[in-house]
């Protein structure tokens, strides 16, 4: 059994917990929290909840520590720190800071003889893998990534920070005509506005001015100004009833050509439709935790991404079984 | 530069040749044939065409030999034989015989300190990889593979063997309603007939009886009897004009559930639409040849499938570049 520790028990931590329960070769050993452990109730019965300080004493009880904090401030500190003690897996997704994060985790993990897999999930993660495979197979081509329909936590938070807004759920929606143009192999040049639209469901504070708030949302630089945005005002009851699911998804498409004169066009598409973003991401993290465990057992160490993981390491089955049933 | 040899210069060999030309870190060193070399004209200028016997003397000139023969009789002999002399890559696709083929290649490649990657292409190949990734991420779920719309060489050949048939092109077509049912997450149980239909375009010999031939096709066991098949009789001119492209494709879909009560459904789909099956397969073989070269340089040996290849090995770019541009 692979003994999994989870650090951080928010939506993502709960997603990892659920995934560990689905994998017969894994068991949840402990949940670690920066909050008061007494205040945290985990779903799996009999699992100890420990303060983060206890991680200094749990090396013999945990094979892989899955880090479920945020990319802004948690993971840049936590992943290098705990890669010096455990095999670790994270879902770091701040693209511009990947080189520094990778280097820091690599130093710590190599010094400790551990594996640290960063940026696991679906984007970065499965979408990255599909971009890589498609680029290797079709060097002459063009990549497109569409996100949605799905909830963007960052955009929802940005709207919530506007004075007079009590709650918001923001959906990112790919433009169907843009996706069709890409799938046709035409290699269209698409602006930000042509690729995605945004839709906001907003609950107002009492007395707030809807027209003013709608204008503030639509003109918000970086978040909304470059998009066609629709704003709906709804009640808190409707928000709870209709917009509680953290659904997401999207697709990666590469079109490319082969043939003596480039006369043959190929379209490779990978798409995800997810009812729960954190539960799916947690499921990817669990599979990567298995890979970390197995790569460590084979003597490897250092920072890795999903690019560096032979797919068979993600599976509980042996090579012969995989070749028989999935090849 | 990775020096590539090609054994077998049919459609697939030409596809590999085209792919090598698209990859700036590769060069075609020689084409080997069992035919008379004088009778073979290769598209790339200045490339030697050699008899298969010359492979005994070319080890210093070739880094990876790509085997482009058929799975029925060529590859079971060739891949183990040449894995004892070269890093090799093949597209072996006789599923039931993979264990024996893998074992034979493994023995030869390990003894010679070479890498032998078998069953590269899209199915087996990219479809297998997507089944594997999806199974690792969503252990509770169901796999579906649909093929087409595309030309099945085996089914076209089977019809051509009927007395009175001069030529045939057979298309395998997935049933749209079945694909939609799968995508909805309902996990339908589908019979062979419910998943695919077959369409034959047939040129008759003079005096042949179309009704009799149509009946013979539709009742042919294994090939057509379990499907709804449509037969069209056309002229040789129409065949040449409308049905010369070896298009193919299909999709792999896995749906699975997460959540405390399995209340969240996720749909993972990988699809390919290929204008030229052999050119796309050749492009996968070329990327796998790069992986064979790099894995061999790192001291690995033995038989591998795409399950055993860390995706980064398929790329000409280094890890830092991949993380920057594709992660």
Q: Is A128 on the interface with B (CB under 8 A)?
A: yes
Rounded alpha-carbon distances, angstroms, from residue A153 to A11, A92, A200:
12, 15, 12
Share of chain A above pLDDT 70, in %: 100
| Mean pLDDT within A68-87 | 97
In chain A, which residues have their Cβ closer than 8 Å to the Cβ of B129?
A: 133, 311
A211-249 pLDDT, tens per residue?
999 999 999 999 999 999 999 999 999 999 999 999 999
pLDDT at A282: 98
B44-82 pLDDT, tens per residue?
999 999 999 999 999 999 999 999 999 999 999 999 999
pLDDT at B17: 98
In chain B, which residues have their Cβ closer than 8 Å to the Cβ of A252?
A: none
Burial of A291 (0-12, 13-18, 19+ CB in 10 A): buried
DSSP state for residue B244 in the 8-state scheme: -
Residues 159-188 of B with CB under 8 A from A: 183
| Mean pLDDT within A89-106 | 96
Nearest alpha carbon to residue A309 among A116, A143, A102, A135? A116
In chain A, which residues have their Cβ closer than 8 Å to the Cβ of B269?
A: 269-273
Burial of A24 (0-12, 13-18, 19+ CB in 10 A): exposed
Mean pLDDT score across all residues of chain A: 97
Residues 243-302 of A with CB under 8 A from B: 245, 258-260, 263-276, 279-280, 282-284, 287, 290
Tokens of residue A95, six digits: 């693209």
CB contact under 8 A, A99 and B323: yes
A212, A220 Cβ separation under 8 angstroms: no
pLDDT at A9: 97
pLDDT at A168: 97
pLDDT at B270: 98
Residues in chain B, pLDDT under 50: none
In chain B, which residues have their Cβ closer than 8 Å to the Cβ of A306?
A: 311
Round to whole Å and give the CA distance between B126 and B122: 4
pLDDT at B192: 95
Q: How many CB pairs under 8 A join A and B?
A: 207
**Which uninterrupted H or E stretch holds A172?**
strand A165-174
For A157, phi then psi, to 5°, come to -65, -40
pLDDT at B172: 97
The ipTM is: 0.97
Nearest alpha carbon to residue B197 among B161, B152, B160? B152
The number of beta carbons lying within 10 Å of the beta carbon of residue B222 is 8
Confidence of residue A56 (pLDDT cuts 50, 70, 90): very high
pLDDT at A249: 97
DSSP state for residue A63 in the 8-state scheme: S
| Mean pLDDT within A110-125 | 98
For B206: left if phi > 0, alpha if psi spans -120 to 50, otherwise beta; the answer is: beta
Helix, strand, coil % (nearest 5) of chain B?
40, 25, 35
| Residue in chain B nearest A314 by alpha carbon | B136
A157-204 pLDDT, tens per residue?
999 999 999 999 999 999 999 999 999 998 999 999 999 999 999 999
Q: Strand, coil or helix: what is A33?
A: strand
B233-244 pLDDT, tens per residue?
999 999 999 999
């Amino acid at each position: 059994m692979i003994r999994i520790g989870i650090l951080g028990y928010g939506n993502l931590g709960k997603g990892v917990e659920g995934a560990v329960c689905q994998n017969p070769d894994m068991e949840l050993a402990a949940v670690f929290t920066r909050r008061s452990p007494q205040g945290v109730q985990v779903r799996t019965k009999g699992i100890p909840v420990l303060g983060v300080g206890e991680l200094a004493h749990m090396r013999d009880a945990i094979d892989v520590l899955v880090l479920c904090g945020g990319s802004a401030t948690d993971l840049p500190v936590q992943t290098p720190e705990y890669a010096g003690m455990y095999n670790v897996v994270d879902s770091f997704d701040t693209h511009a800071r990947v080189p520094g994060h990778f280097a820091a985790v690599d130093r710590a993990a190599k010094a400790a003889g551990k594996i640290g897999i960063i940026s696991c999930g679906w984007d970065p993660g499965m979408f990255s893998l599909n971009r890589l495979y498609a680029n290797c197979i079709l060097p002459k081509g063009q990549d497109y990534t569409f996100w949605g329909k799905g909830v963007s936590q960052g955009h929802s938070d940005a709207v919530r920070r506007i004075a007079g807004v009590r709650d918001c759920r923001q959906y990112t929606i790919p433009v169907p005509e843009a996706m069709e143009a890409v799938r046709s192999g035409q290699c269209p040049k698409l602006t930000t506005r042509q690729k995605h639209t945004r839709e906001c469901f907003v609950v107002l504070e009492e007395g707030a001015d809807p027209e003013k708030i709608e204008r503030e949302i639509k003109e918000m630089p970086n978040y909304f100004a470059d998009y066609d945005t629709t704003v709906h005002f709804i009640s808190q009851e409707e928000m709870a009833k209709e917009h509680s699911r953290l659904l997401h998804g999207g697709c990666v498409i590469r079109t490319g050509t082969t043939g003596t004169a480039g006369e043959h066009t190929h379209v490779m598409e990978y798409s995800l439709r997810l009812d729960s973003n954190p539960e799916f991401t947690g499921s990817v993290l669990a599979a990567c935790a298995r890979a970390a465990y197995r790569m460590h057992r084979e003597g490897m160490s250092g920072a890795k991404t999903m690019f560096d993981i032979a797919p068979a390491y993600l599976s509980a089955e042996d090579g012969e079984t995989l070749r028989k049933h999935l090849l």
